[in-house]
C-alpha cells in the first residue's frame, strides 16, 4: 500500500518508518483470521489490513508528539518526530490517514454496497467519537484522579474502537449476520481492554521498546487497583472476549488461538487466577 511512495521525501520515509518496522500486526492478523473463519478469503483482506495498520501507525505518531506524550522511543526506535522533526511527523500522520481512507475507497473486487459500508468504518473509528476523543481524554483527564469506570471509558475509546472497526470490517466483507456482528463487536471491546491493561502492566519493564515508566503520574487501572487486581481484570476481559468469540466460531476458532498465544507470550507466567483461561482452554 505504501509501495507507490517516493522514499526520497522525508514525509514518505516517515510514513514507512511509522508503519513498517517490527509491529505485531495484531489488527491486520485479526481481520484476516476473523474473515477467514467466517468463510471469506480474498486479496482485499490484505488491503484492508494495511489500511487499518496505517491508521494505527498514524495514531501512534500523534500519541508520541511533544505536545502529547512526548515519547522518545517506540518499538525500540526513536519516535518519528525525534527522527524526522515534528512537522514531518504531523504531515506523515495526515498522509497515513489519507492513504488508509484512499485504500479502502478503491478496494477491489468488493461489492459496491459492502464497500460503501467499509468506507465509513475507519473515519468513524478515528473521529471525535473514537481515537481523537480517547487521546484527548487520556491526555487531559489522565493526570487527575479518576474512577475505574472513567478510565475504562477512555481506554475503550483509545484502544477498543479500532479493534471494533477491524472486526466490523471483517464481518462486513465476510457477510456476517447481525448477531455475529454484535458478538464480534463485544469481543473487540473486551480485547481492547485487555491490550490496554497489558500495556499498563508492562509499563516500566525494560524490553517494551518504549520509554520506561511513561505512565508515571497518570491515573491507570494498574495505579488504582494494583498490579495483581489489574492482572485479574485482564484475565476476566480475555475470558469474556473468548466467550464472545465462541458464539461466533464455536470452541476452536483461529482468532481465539491467536489471542491466547499472544497474551501467553506477553504476560508473566500465569497464576491461579488465569489458569482457566490459559490452561483449561478458556471458559466455554
In the numeric block, the cell 468506507 is attached to: 119
101 and 123 in contact (C-beta within 8 Å)? yes
Nearer to a copy of itself, 132 or 229 (CB): 132
254 and 33 in contact (C-beta within 8 Å)? yes
Reduced to 3 states (helix: H, G, I; strand: E, B; else coil), residue 218 is coil
**Closest distance to a copy of itself from the beta carbon of 29 (Å):** 24
Secondary structure letter of residue 38 according to DSSP: T
CA 203, CA 91: separation in Å to the nearest integer? 28
Nearer to a copy of itself, 137 or 200 (CB): 137
Nearer to a copy of itself, 1 or 243 (CB): 1
**Closest distance to a copy of itself from the beta carbon of 150 (Å):** 14
Q: Which residues bind a copy of itself (CB under 8 A)?
A: 5-6, 9-12, 15, 62, 65, 67-68, 85-88, 90-91, 93-95, 97-99, 101-102, 105-106, 112-113, 115-116, 119-120, 122-124, 126-128, 130-133, 135-136, 139-140
Backbone angles phi, psi at 71, to 5 degrees: -90, 150
What count of other Cβ atoms lies within 10 Å of the Cβ of residue 221? 22
**Closest distance to a copy of itself from the beta carbon of 242 (Å):** 31
**Closest distance to a copy of itself from the beta carbon of 140 (Å):** 8
Nearer to a copy of itself, 27 or 231 (CB): 27
**Closest distance to a copy of itself from the beta carbon of 104 (Å):** 8
* Residue 92, CA distances (Å) to 103, 133, 195 in order: 16, 20, 25
Nearer to a copy of itself, 112 or 149 (CB): 112
CA 36, CA 261: separation in Å to the nearest integer? 18
Amino acid at each position: 500500500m505504501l509501495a507507490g511512495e517516493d522514499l526520497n521525501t522525508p514525509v514518505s520515509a516517515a510514513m514507512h518508518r511509522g508503519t513498517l518496522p517490527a509491529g505485531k500486526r495484531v489488527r491486520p492478523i485479526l481481520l484476516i483470521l476473523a474473515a477467514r473463519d467466517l468463510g471469506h478469503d480474498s486479496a482485499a483482506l490484505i488491503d484492508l489490513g494495511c489500511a487499518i495498520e496505517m491508521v494505527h501507525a498514524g495514531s501512534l505518531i500523534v500519541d508520541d508528539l511533544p505536545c502529547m506524550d512526548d515519547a522518545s522511543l517506540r518499538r525500540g526506535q526513536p519516535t518519528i518526530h525525534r527522527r524526522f522533526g515534528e512537522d514531518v511527523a504531523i504531515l506523515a500522520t495526515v498522509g497515513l490517514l489519507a492513504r488508509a481512507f484512499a485504500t479502502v475507497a478503491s478496494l477491489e473486487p468488493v461489492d459496491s454496497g459492502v464497500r460503501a459500508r467499509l468506507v465509513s468504518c475507519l473515519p468513524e473509528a478515528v473521529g471525535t467519537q473514537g481515537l481523537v476523543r480517547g487521546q484527548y481524554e487520556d491526555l487531559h483527564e489522565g493526570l487527575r484522579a479518576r474512577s475505574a469506570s472513567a478510565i475504562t471509558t477512555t481506554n475503550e475509546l483509545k484502544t477498543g474502537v479500532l479493534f471494533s472497526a477491524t472486526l466490523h470490517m471483517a464481518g462486513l466483507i465476510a457477510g456476517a449476520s447481525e448477531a455475529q456482528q454484535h458478538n464480534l463487536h463485544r469481543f473487540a471491546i473486551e480485547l481492547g481492554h485487555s491490550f490496554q491493561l497489558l500495556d499498563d502492566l508492562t509499563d516500566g519493564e525494560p524490553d517494551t521498546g518504549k520509554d520506561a515508566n511513561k505512565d508515571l503520574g497518570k491515573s491507570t487501572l494498574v495505579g488504582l487497583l494494583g498490579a495483581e487486581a489489574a492482572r485479574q481484570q485482564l484475565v476476566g476481559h480475555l475470558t469474556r472476549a473468548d466467550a464472545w468469540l465462541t458464539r461466533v466460531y464455536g470452541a476452536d476458532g483461529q482468532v481465539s488461538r491467536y489471542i491466547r498465544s499472544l497474551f501467553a507470550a506477553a504476560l508473566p507466567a500465569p497464576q491461579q487466577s488465569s489458569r482457566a483461561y490459559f490452561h483449561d482452554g478458556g471458559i466455554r
